[in-house]
Amino acid sequence: MPNFFILFALTCVVLLAIAVVRPRLIYEYPYFMAATFTAFILPQAYALYRDQWGGIYLRMTLLMCFLCIACCWLGYQRRPHPALLSKLNIPIDLARFLQGGIVLVLIGLFFTYKFGTTPEEELSSRMTGISTVYLFFGGLVYPGFAICFYCALKRGWITAWLAALGAAVIPVQAALFHGRREPTVLFLMSVGLGVFFIKGKAAPRWAIIAAVMGAMLFIPSTSEYRQLANEHPFDAFREINFMEQFRGALDPDAISELKNATALIAATEETGDYEFGAGYWNQIVFRFVPAQFLGRDFKDSLMIGGEQRDMSDFVYNVLGFQLPTGLTVTGMGDSFNEFGYLGCLFFAALGYLFKTLWAAANRPNGIVAQILYIQITTSAMRAATHQTIDFLPALIYDLIFIGAIAFYARERGVFAAPLSSAPAPAQLLSK
C-alpha cells in the first residue's frame, strides 16, 4: 500500500521548493496553496501519522490530503477560459475606481464599529441576528483597502494613501489584538500582490521561507495568543513559548483540525451519508438570506434537507466522538463529506478558476481581475484550512461588490482590445 503521508509531504515540499527557487510563483494558486498545506496541514498530518491515530480512516484522510494538493496543481494546468478572460478585460477610470474603493472603506469602517458595539452575549462561533449584518458589510473594508492601496501605488494620490491607511487599521487591529489569521493573511496578500501587479516586485526567497515557518510555529499558539493579546499584544509575543506550543501540537493526543477531518471521513464512510453538494447550496443560503428580515422558517425552507448539517452532531451520533468547539474539519473533511474522494476535484476547479483569473490579471485592462484575485486568495486558503463550502459565498460576495465598483468605474465608450492582440506584460516575459 502506498505511503500516503510521504506522497502528501513530498508534493507539498516540491511545490513550495519551486516557489522558493522562483519567488514570483508564490502568488500563483498551486504554490500559495502548497504553502498553506505545509504550514497548517502537514504538521498535524505528521502527528497523526506518527501514532497512526484513526487507523484505516487516517490512511483515507492522508490520501485525501494528497489528492487535494495534487488537484491544486492539476487544475491549474488547463488553459484559461477564453470567455471569462474576455469579460474580465475591463477598461477602468482609475479616479472613479478609487471613489468606489473609498465608499467600500467607509461602509466597512462604519459596520465594523457597529459590530464592536454588539453585546458580548450575542456573539458566538455561529452568530445570528443583526450582528451578522454588521459583519457582512464590515468585511467591505478589505476590498476597499485593496482598491485604495492599488490606486495609491499606481498614481501616488494622497487621498488614496489616506484611505488605505484608514482601512489598514482594521486588519492590523484584528491581527495584533485578536490574533485573527484570515484578515492578517488577506492584508499581507493585498500588499504583496498590489506591489507585484504594479511594481513587478515579488517577495524575496527568505520572506517566503520565513512566512511558512513562522505560520507553522504561530498557528498552534493562536488560542493562547488571543487570550493574552487583547490588551498587550507585544507582551503576548514575549510570554508565549512558540516552540513548546509547536511540540505540543505534534502530540498525537492534542486536538487538531485534521483529527476532526479523520473523524468526519470515518463517519461519512461508515454511513455512506454523503451530502452530494447540498452543503455548498445551504452555505450560500446561510450567508445571503437574512433570517432576521425574512424569517427563520423561510430561510430553512430554501435549504436542501431543511437545515445545514451540523458536523459535530453528525460525527457524535455515528462515532460518539465529540469535535472540539472552535476547530474546523478542514477542506479535506468537508469535501469528502460531500462527494467522497471525488471531493478533491473541488480544488482542481479552483485551480482552473485561478488560472483564468491570473491570466486576466496579467493582461491590459486587468485591474478588476487583479483586485478580485487578491480578495479570493485567502478564501482559497480557507477552503483547505477550514472548509470548502465557505469559498462560493466568499466568491459571490466579492463578485457583487467589486463588480458594482467596476461597473461604476468602467470607462464609457471604451472597448477593450481583443485578447489575442494584447501584449504580454513584462513580468510574464521575465518568468
Q: Beta-carbon neighbour count of residue 246 at 10 Å?
A: 16
The predicted structure's pLDDT at residue 53: 87
| CA gap 390, 383 in Å, rounded | 7
For residue 410, which phi and psi values (nearest 5 degrees)?
A: -60, 135
The predicted structure's pLDDT at residue 123: 55
Interacting residues of 149 by C-beta distance below 8 A, sequence separation 6+: 160, 164, 167, 190, 191, 194
Backbone φ/ψ region at 413: left (φ over 0), alpha (ψ -120 to 50), beta? left
- What does each of the 431 residues of the chain score in pLDDT, given as a tens digit? 469 999 999 999 999 999 999 999 999 999 999 999 999 999 999 999 988 888 899 999 999 999 999 999 999 999 999 999 999 999 999 999 999 999 999 999 999 998 888 776 555 555 567 888 888 999 999 999 999 999 999 999 999 999 999 999 999 988 888 878 888 899 999 999 999 999 999 999 999 999 999 989 888 888 777 777 776 777 777 788 888 888 888 887 788 899 999 999 999 999 999 999 999 999 999 999 888 788 888 888 999 988 889 999 999 999 998 998 878 999 999 999 999 999 999 999 999 999 999 999 999 899 999 999 999 999 999 999 999 999 999 999 999 999 999 999 998 765 555 554 444 443 433 33
The predicted structure's pLDDT at residue 413: 63
What pTM did the predictor assign? 0.90
The predicted structure's pLDDT at residue 107: 96
Dihedral sign for Cα atoms in the order 29, 31, 34, 35: negative
Taking Cα atoms as reference points, which of 75, 148, 157 lies closest to residue 109?
Answer: 148
CB 90 within 8 A of CB 367: yes
The predicted structure's pLDDT at residue 127: 57
| DSSP 3-state of 414 | coil
C-alpha cell read off for 34: 502548497
| CA gap 144, 133 in Å, rounded | 18
The predicted structure's pLDDT at residue 118: 75
- Contacts by residues 368-371 (CB-CB < 8 Å, ≥ 24 positions apart): 368/88, 368/90, 368/92, 368/402, 368/403, 368/406, 369/88, 370/150, 370/193, 370/197, 371/143, 371/146, 371/147, 371/150, 371/402
Taking Cα atoms as reference points, which of 336, 359, 208 lies closest to residue 262?
Answer: 336
CB 101 within 8 A of CB 148: yes
CB 352 within 8 A of CB 74: no
CB 371 within 8 A of CB 140: no
